[in-house]
Chains A and B, each alone.
Chain A
Amino acid sequence: MEVTITLNGKKITDSVDADMVLLDFCRKHKCFSVKRGCETGNCGLCSVLLDGKPVLSCSVPIGRASGRKVDTLEGLQEEAKKFSDFFAAQGADQCGFCNPGYIVNIVALLRENPDPTDEEILEYLSGNLCRCTGYQSQLRSLRNYLNSKKEAAPLDLEAEVYGADIGREWKHE
């Protein structure tokens, strides 16, 4: 079956099996950021933007994506780079396998809602599972990014380290 998809701004025509899903199409075309973490639509690792909306690419039959626009993290690098350094600063990347999925979904969130509350962030990203971080650092990172654009908003940059023998101050010297 022939399909034509605008993948990261580039029109691609390809002959594929009818039952291919968008996830495998992306990987076939070297968009390796798109990962598979489960078979049941639960992990969010395969998130891509389909006509701008975040979807699970594991559940989009390729025929349905034909004629439409698909963006993966490969095509969203500049938008992602705006906030990804804040994640690196926290160590929130950890193993990295779930990163592309939630980074793409954050792009979608911020396009929809440029100044989300913590609750809105948690709800919007709840379909992106992560097993390494316990999620706290990801929220801190995004909050730091959003606060960095506001005057006098607080930033949480470093873990608190106390020590009877060292004292709180040594770390900052």
Chain B
Amino acid sequence: MVRISEGSGSMSEFKRDRKDYHMVGKCVPKKDSNQLLLGKPVFMDDIVPQDCLVVKLLRSPHAHALVEEVKTVAAAKVPGIEAIYTWKDVPKERFCIAGQTYPEPSPYDRLILDQRVRCVGDPVAIVAGENEKAVDKALRLIKVKYQVLEPVLDFRKALDSEVLVHPEENWKSYGNTGDVKRNLLHHEEDTHGDVEQILSECDEVIEHSWRIKAAQQGYMETIRAYCEIDRYGRLHCISSTQIVFHVRRIIANALGIPKSMVRAEKPRIGGGFGAKQTAVCEVYPAFVTWMTKKPCKLIYSRKECQTIASPRHEMEVTVRLGAMKDGHIRAIDLYTLSNTGAYGEHGTTTVGLSGHKALPLYTGGCEATRFSCDVVYTNVQAAGAYRGYGATQGIFALESAVNELAEKLHMDPVEIRMKNIVREGMFMPAYFGETANACALDRCIEHCADNFHWKEKYPVRDMGNGKVRAAGMALAMQGSCISNVDVGSCTLKLGDGGTYNMMIGAADMGTGCDTILAQMAAEVLDCDVDQISVFGADTDASPYDSGSYASSTTYVTGMATQNAALQLRENIKKIGAGMLECEPEEVDFDGEKVYLTDGEKSVSLVDIATKSQVNNTIPVDVTATYSSPVSPPPYMVGMVEIELDKETGSIEILDYQAVIDCGIPVNPNLARVQAEGGIGQGIGMALYENVTYNAQGKIAENSFMQYKIPTRLDMGRINVEFETSYEPSGPFGVKSIGEIVINTPAPALAHAIYRATGVWHRTVPFTPEKILMSMLDPQWKEIDRRVKES
């Protein structure tokens, strides 16, 4: 039975032996699976009026220019065209579209339409019309005169460049420590111990730079939003978003209208992966609807998603790793240069993770760490949030450096890690001084090495016909929320017939959070998950939640859910006790009835539900809210076996083994699919998802025809298993799973390729050409066309 004890503050604790969990840890299907698998209309474009206005954007062909004139007369005459807006028509107050808690760390550097266009694809005009054909025709007829300016495309030359990306006076920021007049959005340093001194004492120092490109999330449902004026005259936005509450604020800020005038809602979402943690498109249809008072929708094309949405921050991470001959890692110096592109969404925050969520992996015997970074503006597509959020970039660099160290010292990479990794109970100076209260990383490594047959597969094997087999590995960590910032809430309501409603502001983007949160509530309420209907997310109906990002939903909203369920349980007991004419202390609740602990009498939940609607003052809908002072890291290890064709440079992935410590997996099957999906994205980023620019700053990989994401023929066999740990600060011992899973493929594959070829690759993607040519010619380099040779 459940014992409730008051913890610190008002938080009460759920005490049940984990062996007795009946819902947490169970593989139940997602609540929406039937609807999704049978193709029911549940996405934005399925549920909005088919005859609403269609909105599209005219986009700049130049990376940097001033809009001198926009001729719209001919376009406006196209039958069916409702409105055309240019920079002259929109509010002049800058705003921020990053979905972050106010005051956002990201700068206020955007206008709905700006006279200055800062990257290829920046919007120049908004066109709204009755149908797509008319709008397309109007777009072709608009003539724009640009004053073309010199762009700064190379992020290594952006700092103090003569070309200024944001010269405007009304640029503002709440969280930046950079200097916008130097194209510097952010600079940060975090040092523990004397890095230089200890590096100078080390036998070996590995020093290189590693680069991750502006990879695309590749969500299947493109960016989209619908807006209408509701029956109260307010702006109602239905968006494919992870962040309804932030969307409300962003729209209100962009339009200069009161937040109370905006309602934001999400239906089912066709994938997010962080892309939809930025309000990429919402302000445009919102502006059209606010001006015309007519319903409209904006659906991004795949090309727009590939070229002008919110990809990963391109980063160059330089690591200096100092170690002794016995493999003891003593000091790490990590510097990151991050490219935020034309606008600063998530620029100041992603970069931090490249250090803070990489360095603590080697807390073991490490005496000193330094993390420093610069984030620069350039005239390319603005970056945003993508699963991993900077940690991916930092871990690629650090894990590659550790693999290089192992190879240099002729040590087994597994062994070198067992010597140096963070272990349960360790204090982590480089991780905001938090302690690793739940850490099974050591068990993960042993378990994975065992599953993978590391001892047999690590040696390179010649298969004949030019083919060799080789293996590589990498570790990863992440966080479980933004500590002291993220807010998660859950409302639980007892209804007729003894069933429950759960209202959340977190956004299930296919990950299954509706289901796992219901599992948590069902655990506390001793009911089946089917007894709980979930609704989310809608700013008018959901309790406040920062949204689904930063790996926080299971951990933060999960705790709110647990607490709401505990409170509701108490209230149910109170009503039951009243009906049994005794004190609440004398009764208990088993999910079906409230009963006297010393006696025969009981009253059913159905009767309590009925009673709650007659002459009742005890609420049966309760809301709990939670924020966490810590962000406990999940940990994982990935090991990959490849077959590499030394005559063509082709790679085939044969086996990918991963073992993850995400605390207690609430729904192991859903956690497994999260991991497999993240590993798949990581493989794509490592092997072929490229982003290249021409000399004018235009992206070549602008479609799924040119930007290749993995198909099911490219994945090999992925096997994911879990080592559990119990995180005391998490509900039911949980930590996060959503983001960490993308971090191991790039370093593990680079490692395996080195084993097969003798060449380290430090820039993704590792294409067959790159692999073969660098084997034949160590000086071979791929061409970066945006870089001007001086």
Contact = CB atoms under 8 A, between A and B. Distances in A.
**Is any CB of A less than 8 Å from a CB of B in the complex?**
yes
Interface of A: 17, 28, 32-33, 35, 37-43, 45, 72-74, 77, 80-81, 84-85, 87-100, 103, 122-123, 125-139, 157-166, 170-171, 173
B42 A96 contact: yes
A158 B133 CA distance: 49
28 contacts: A32-B43, A33-B39, A35-B43, A37-B220, A39-B302, A42-B704, A43-B704, A84-B37, A85-B29, A93-B36, A93-B37, A96-B36, A96-B43, A96-B270, A127-B711, A128-B712, A131-B709, A132-B677, A134-B673, A136-B676, A137-B672, A161-B721, A161-B724, A162-B443, A163-B724, A163-B725, A164-B443, A164-B723
Contact of A97 (B221, B713, B724, B725): B221
B18 A39 contact: no
Nearest to A24: B132
A17 B134 CA distance: 13
Contacts of A40: 302, 703-705
A72 B38 CA distance: 10
Contact of B721 (A35, A39, A162, A170): A162
Given A97-B220, A132-B510, A32 B39 contact: yes
Contact of B37 (A37, A96, A125, A134): A96
A161 B443 contact: no
3 closest residue pairs by CB, A with B: A95-B510, A33-B39, A96-B36
B723 A162 contact: yes
Contacts of B725: 163, 165
Given A39-B302, A129-B704, A136 B27 contact: no
A170 B32 contact: no
Interface string B715-742: 1011011111110000000000000000
Contact of A166 (B33, B217, B724): B724
B307 to A, nearest CB: 12
Given A84-B38, A88-B29, A160-B722, A97 B712 contact: no
A73 B39 contact: yes
A92 B668 CA distance: 13
B185 interface: no
A41 B302 CA distance: 11
Contacts of A94: 271, 510-512, 673, 677
A85 B38 CA distance: 10
Contacts of B268: 95-96
B680 A134 contact: yes
A37 B511 contact: no
Contact of B715 (A17, A42, A91, A136): A136
Contact of A131 (B41, B46, B219, B447): B219
Contacts, number: 236
A89 B26 CA distance: 11
The CB with the most chain B CB atoms within 10 A, among A33, A73, A135, A139, is that of: A135
Contacts of A135: 676, 680, 710-712, 715
Nearest to A87: B37
Given A42-B704, A96-B268, A136-B715, A37 B39 contact: no
B673 A137 contact: yes
Contact of B510 (A43, A96, A170): A96
Nearest to B219: A131
B665 to A, nearest CB: 6
B19 A170 contact: yes
Given A91-B673, A131-B709, A161-B721, 11 more contacts: A32-B39, A37-B704, A40-B703, A87-B33, A89-B669, A91-B670, A94-B510, A98-B270, A130-B220, A163-B722, A166-B19
A134 B678 contact: yes
B37 A131 contact: no
Contacts of B705: 38, 40-42
A97 B672 contact: no
B669 A103 contact: no
Contact of B18 (A84, A98, A166): A166
A92 B220 contact: no
Interface string B46-84: 100010000000000000000000000000000000000
